[in-house]
């Protein structure tokens, strides 16, 4: 369409841009929500993963209109205010936005609301029930129902676990250079190189380290907790999907840090009970030689076969209980 330079009034560009932008944003947001959203990492294997996926998607739903605002404005300007014929001077564009009070007020108001909402939403989601930042640390800000009882009981020999609501499974994650092992205090305290979890169950991960600082990162479970020596770092999640997941050390911890990973799986509660009881009896002889279950341990190369002790029962760096060989008698 060629337009001669006439005295006709300019079309209402801002209104046109606004309409195109709203339509593009609605279509874009809907396409994203239904086609992309359900596949966004880390998936929906646990309550925390599901919650994080929702957060990512909400952020994206808000970011897309901002992106489309820029694209639509850019495209509209490109199409509307360019020289349409060779030799014809380029139009100089629409009214100046500078000193347009209405545009300025809207711009500041909308971006302020957006940013403040995101800050508030992000903070609440970090702390709220299933948030990735919630319930973590040596003193969790919240605990799922039944977690306190399960953790208190974990230190007693009568601790047990059966499937059911509020039956929290306590799993201890022990990091060391360069592997993770897992202890199950509700199944006699056996230690396994395999992390197996029952479905539809609240898990209380108690993460510690025997040596340097590591970090337990179960990617698809959306659980990440630092593994510090002499510290019991707690993180909660609830499994709600069967499948495999990857565990990686997420804190540079020495030469073979990159090789410090393994795989775990979420199985049905009956398959889990089967695995746990079988492993408990198969490992019974080894478990007997392990240090009694405790929240933290200190390594001790002189230890009677176990190699580590419950923290507080020995002084890790005393002359006779140091790493390596015994001190020669003087
Ligand atoms: Cu590590």
If pLDDT is split at 50, 70 and 90, which confidence band does 137 have? confident
Q: Give domain status of residue 87, yes or no.
A: no
Residue 20 lies in a domain: yes
- Cβ 184 vs Cβ 171: under 8 Å: yes
CA 210 to ligand 1 center in whole angstroms? 11
One domain, residues 48 and 157: no
159 in the same domain as 303: yes
Say if residue 164 is in the same domain as residue 107.
no
Do residue 178 and residue 287 come from a single domain? yes
Q: Which residue has the higher pLDDT, 81 or 33?
A: 33
Q: Are residues 161 and 122 in the same domain?
A: no
Neighbours of ion ligand 1 (CB under 5 A): 214, 249, 253, 260
| 77 and 167, same domain (yes or no) | no
165 plus 274 within the same structural domain = yes
Distance 227 CA to ligand 1 centre (A): 8
User: Which residues have C-beta within 8 Å of that of residue 306, sequence separation ≥ 6?
Assistant: 289, 290, 291
Q: Same structural domain for residues 117 and 155?
A: no
Distance of CA 160 to the CA centre of its chain: 28
136: pLDDT strictly greater than 90:
no
Label residue 200 left, alpha or beta by phi (over 0 means left) and psi (-120 to 50 means alpha).
left
Å from CA of 248 to ligand 1 middle: 8
Q: Does residue 3 fall inside a structural domain?
A: no
Please indicate, yes or no, if residue 140 is contained in any of the structural domains: no
Same domain, 112 and 208: no
Mean pLDDT of the residues in the chain? 83
Is 215 a member of any domain? yes
Q: Are residues 291 and 169 in the same domain?
A: yes
The pLDDT value given to residue 292: 84
pLDDT above 70 as % of the chain: 84
Domain count of the chain?
2
* Spacing, Cα 175 to ligand 1 middle (Å): 7
Is the residue at 330 inside a domain?
no
> Which has more confidence, 64 or 304?
64
CATH for 244: 2.60.40.420
Distance 28 CA to ligand 1 centre (A): 41
Closest CA to 70 of 107, 98, 96, 38: 107
In the predicted structure, residue 170 carries a pLDDT above the cut 70: yes
Q: Which of 92, 127, 162 is the last residue of a domain?
A: 127
The Å distance, Cα 179 to ligand 1 centre, comes to 7
The answer to the question of residue 326 being in a domain is no
How far is 205 from 225, CA to CA, in rounded Å?
9
Q: What is the pLDDT of residue 325?
A: 46
Kindly report, residue by residue over 253-303, the tens digit of the pLDDT: 999 999 999 999 999 999 999 999 999 999 998 888 788 888 888 776 555
Structural domain containing residue 232 = 147-319
- How far away, in angstroms, is 173 Cα from ligand 1 center? 12
State what percent of residues in the chain have pLDDT above 90.
Answer: 46
pLDDT, tens digit (0-9, with 9 covering 90-100), for 194-223: 999 999 999 999 999 988 899 999 999 988
Q: Are residues 156 and 280 in the same domain?
A: yes
What spacing in Å lies between the alpha carbon of 263 and ligand 1's midpoint?
15
More confident residue, 132 or 19: 19
Q: Is the pLDDT of residue 324 over 50?
A: no
Note the pLDDT tens digit of each residue in 57-100: 999 999 999 999 999 999 998 888 777 777 777 666 666 677 88
Please give the average per-residue pLDDT across 32-52, as a whole number.
Answer: 91
Is residue 323's pLDDT more than 70? no
| pLDDT confidence tier of residue 45, bands split at 50, 70 and 90 | very high
Residues 6+ apart with CB under 8 A from 89: 83
Give the pLDDT confidence score for residue 91 in this predicted structure: 65
Same domain, 309 and 164: yes
Q: Within a domain: residue 270? A: yes
């Amino acid at each position: 369409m060629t337009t001669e330079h006439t005295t006709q009034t300019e079309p209402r560009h801002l209104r046109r841009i606004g309409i195109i932008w709203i339509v593009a944003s609605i279509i874009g947001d809907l396409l994203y929500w239904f086609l992309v959203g359900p596949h966004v990492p880390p998936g929906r294997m646990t309550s925390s993963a599901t919650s994080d996926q929702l957060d990512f998607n909400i952020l994206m739903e808000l970011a897309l209109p901002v992106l489309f605002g820029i694209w639509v404005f850019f495209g509209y300007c490109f199409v509307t205010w360019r020289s349409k014929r060779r030799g014809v001077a380029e139009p100089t564009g629409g009214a100046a936005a500078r000193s347009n009070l209405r545009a300025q007020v809207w711009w500041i108001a909308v971006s302020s609301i957006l940013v403040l909402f995101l800050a508030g939403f992000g903070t609440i989601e970090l702390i709220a029930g299933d948030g990735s930042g919630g319930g973590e640390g040596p003193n969790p800000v919240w605990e799922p129902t039944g977690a306190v009882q399960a953790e208190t009981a974990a230190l007693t020999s009568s601790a047990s676990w059966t499937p059911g609501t509020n039956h929290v499974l306590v799993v201890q994650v022990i990091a060391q250079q360069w592997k993770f092992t897992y202890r199950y205090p509700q199944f006699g305290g056996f230690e396994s190189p395999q992390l197996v979890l029952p479905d539809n169950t609240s898990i209380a991960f108690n993460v510690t380290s025997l040596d340097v600082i590591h970090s337990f990162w179960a990617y698809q479970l959306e659980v990440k907790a630092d593994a510090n020596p002499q510290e019991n770092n707690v993180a909660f999640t609830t499994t709600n999907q069967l499948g495999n997941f990857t565990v990686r050390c997420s804190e540079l911890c020495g030469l073979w840090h990159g090789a410090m990973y393994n795989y775990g799986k979420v199985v049905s509660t009956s398959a889990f009970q089967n695995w746990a009881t079988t492993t408990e009896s198969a490992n019974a002889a080894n478990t007997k030689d392990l240090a009694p279950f405790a929240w933290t341990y200190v390594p001790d190369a002189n230890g009677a076969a176990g190699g580590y002790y419950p923290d507080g029962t020995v002084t890790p760096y005393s002359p006779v209980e140091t790493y390596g060989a015994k001190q020669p008698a003087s």
